[in-house]
Structure 1
Amino acid sequence: MLVCQILKTKAPEVISVTPSQTMVEVLGLFRENNIGFVVVGRFPGQCLGTLSERDCCNAVAEYGTEAPLMRVADIMNRSVATCSTQDLLPSVMATMTKRRTRHVLVMDGSTTVGVVSIGDVVKHRLDELMSNEQVLYDYIAGTGYH
């Protein structure tokens, strides 16, 4: 399965924040949108970095009570895992494993066009497995032929 096929099943919006926002503002956005990851940029499609729940936890561990009021630019991840719309799902899975990340940005050149999360990967792999199981069941049962 190609990344572009996964993106077709998701909401097209990539939620982003600016580098000048504070961590507590982003945490509010996480809660409002039931997410745990945002792209950091000055304008839509730009990626200067990312911020995840894990990045926020690491900032609290390092900076203590000062962390919630710190600017996103000071705590964001600048080493961003990326892929293209034409990459295959196993390649994205390998990137997630190698980089130990739960999110990979989908890029079209230098523009962010989507995000693939570990949840997306699990959903699509599960759908594939269930489809294969049904095909095998139909074959064994001698049904499903036209």
Structure 2
Amino acid sequence: MSVQGILKEKGCAVITAPPKATVADACRLLHDSHIGAIVVVDEQNVIKGIFTERDVVSVIARSGARGLAADLQQVMWKNVHCCTNETSINDLMEAMNRHKARHLPVKANGQLAGIVSIGDVVRHHIRAIECEAEYIRSYIAG
């Protein structure tokens, strides 16, 4: 299975923010949407960065409450690791592990096309194991 299969199941909607949004704006989005990452995009939906819960902690540790007024473009992670619809689940897990990333935006034609979280990957992996176990049970039962 590939990233496309995960997106087909969960959908392609992504919570985004513009680079000029503040950290406080991003915190409200994270909280209200019950998510761990916001993809920062420009007007053409091109990925400019990613801002995560970890980044909130980093901003507050460095700047205190005044860090909440900073623009995302000042504090976001700019070297965004992305995947594509064709990325295999094994490659996705390896990339998440290598980059210590819990969220990977999905890029298509240079634009944001979705996002995959570690939770999405775990759910897929559990389902695959359950299907394999059921197949083995059926095979043994004849």
Q: Which TM-score bucket, shorter chain as reference?
A: over 0.9
Q: Which amino acid is 2:112 matched to?
A: T
Number of residue pairs the alignment of both structures matches: 142
CA contact (8 A) 2:12 2:115 kept: no
Q: Which amino acid is 1:17 matched to?
A: A
Distance in 2 separating the partners of 1:79 and 1:129: 33
Match of 1:40 in 2: 40
Larger Rg: 1
Structure 1 residue 75 corresponds to structure 2 residue 75: yes
Structure 1 residue 98 corresponds to structure 2 residue 70: no
1:6-62 per-position Cα deviation (integer Å, ceiling 9, x unaligned):
110113211110111111111111111111111111225211101011111111111
The alignment partner of 1:64 has SS state of helix
CA contact (8 A) 1:16 1:44 kept: no
Match of 2:28 in 1: 28
Structure 1: state its 5+ residue gaps: none
Q: Which amino acid is 1:45 matched to?
A: N
Match of 1:120 in 2: 120
Q: Which moved more, 1:36-45 or 1:19-28?
A: 36-45
Structure 1 residue 4 corresponds to structure 2 residue 7: no
Offset at residue 66 of structure 1 (A):
1.5
CA contact (8 A) 2:22 2:70 kept: yes
Alignment RMSD? 1.1
The alignment partner of 1:84 has SS state of coil
Match of 1:135 in 2: 135
Q: Which amino acid is 1:131 matched to?
A: C
| TM-score, length basis structure 1 | 0.92
Q: Which moved more, 1:9-18 or 1:84-93?
A: 9-18
Match of 1:110 in 2: 110
- Percent identity between the two aligned chains: 30
CA contact (8 A) 2:18 2:41 kept: yes
Offset at residue 75 of structure 1 (A):
0.7
Q: Which amino acid is 1:37 matched to?
A: A
Match of 1:86 in 2: 86
User: Which aligned runs of 4 or more in structure 1 are off by greater than 4 angstroms?
Assistant: none
Structure 2: state its 5+ residue gaps: none
